[in-house]
Amino acid sequence: MTQLSRRIAVVLFNLGGPDGPRAVRPFLQNLFSDRAIIDAPIWIRAPLAWFISRVRERSAIANYALMGGGSPILENTLIQAKALQACLIHRLTDANVQVFVCMRYWRPSAAEVARSVSLFKPDEIVLAPLYPQFSTTTTASSLKVWRHTYHGSGTSRAICCWYDNPGLIEAHVQAILSTWRAAGSPRVRLLFSAHGLPEKIALSGDPYQWQIEATCAAVARRLGSDWDWEICYQSRVGPLKWIGPSTPEAIEAAARDGIGVMIDPIAFVSEHIETLVELDQDYAELAQSRGAPCYLRVPTVSASSPFIDGLAAAVIKSLGQKNDCPDGVPCTAAYGRCGRSFKDH
């Protein structure tokens, strides 16, 4: 038997979600306690997080009840991790590879996963946030907590973004075409729906919106020039002004134009509350009430072969880098808070 020469740990980061009704309030409190989400001193942020989680608990429990009581995001991410590990083992024949899953606001937490990675005693670690487009509110937040938590062995590198990863683009193209053809190829406006972001964060040098636009443009180029498409943003909360147009506004505009709607969740890689409730139920009802000729929803890329192959390629590429790196074209100089320059890790 060939002895494997190196041990590689890959850590997949995602948002996480409550696994049952009792977990909803603490999950929300963890979310709103993050300074990347509410930028305020701890003496303001802590009581505010407690208040918001208490106010939103009942409606959130009702939404999670529509999915069986809890979020499927951990289960979905574990499936992705298993597929990625198999792909990496096949490609890195000289390495002992293990893929770990770490959730930012619920379990398994950074502390839990850091202990598991330490016990594995890796020579190299690749940190791979499952947010294709970098934001200080997602990728940077996850990496910051991890780097404050992990103290084990291994040279660590992070894939700060992979918004133009060829496997990601191909996975979206395949899913869009499959959904459209299965519905009989109707006349639709393709809405690339991404999670929203407060406008003040986007204007601060956060590259998220720029990267969303780049991902959508890459998918649209692969689809061809005949497609009618638009970018929109969902999941707005709070009184701040958010980047737009909002997904509901885009749906209503398509309905007024007499065009069907097909939504691709361009920033989400697995099914969870924003797709299974917000897109599949809330926005489907909105489209129907506004008289849209049809409403189609493209599934997330999940563990599709192009997506997993592309992510594996990004992991392997990162092993040859000295520092954190983007998988693709780096952000322009206008985005000073991108993953390569964001120092609050």
Nearest residue to 262 via CA among 271, 244, 250, 272: 250
For the chain, give the mean pLDDT. 93
**Is pLDDT at 2 greater than 70 in this prediction?**
no
User: Domain range spanning residue 44?
Assistant: 21-65
pTM for this prediction: 0.94
Q: How many separate domains does the chain show?
A: 2
In a domain, 157, yes or no: no
Separation of alpha carbons 340 and 190, rounded Å: 32
Place of tokens 């946030």: 129
- 297, 313, 330: which is the final residue of a domain? 297
**Is pLDDT at 28 greater than 70 in this prediction?**
yes
Beta strands across the sheet bearing 188-195: 228-234, 188-195, 260-264, 295-297
What are the backbone angles phi and psi of residue 145, rounded to the nearest 5°? -65, -45
- Neighbouring residues of 28: CB distance < 8 A, sequence distance ≥ 6: 49, 52, 53, 56, 57, 60
Output the pLDDT for position 328.
80
In a domain, 276, yes or no: yes
Q: For the chain, give the number of residues.
A: 345
Separation of alpha carbons 60 and 245, rounded Å: 24
pLDDT band at 327 (very low <50, low <70, confident <90, very high): confident
In a domain, 132, yes or no: no
In a domain, 27, yes or no: yes
Nearest residue to 162 via CA among 196, 193, 202, 134: 134
**Is pLDDT at 344 greater than 60 in this prediction?**
no
Element spanning 112, H or E: helix 110-120
What letter would DSSP give residue 155? E
What letter would DSSP give residue 325? B
Separation of first and last alpha carbons in the chain: 41
Tens of pLDDT along 268-320? 999 999 999 999 999 999 999 999 999 999 999 999 999 999 999 999 999 98
175 and 54 housed in the same domain: no
In a domain, 86, yes or no: no
Residue 264: which CATH number?
3.40.50.1400
- Neighbouring residues of 224: CB distance < 8 A, sequence distance ≥ 6: none
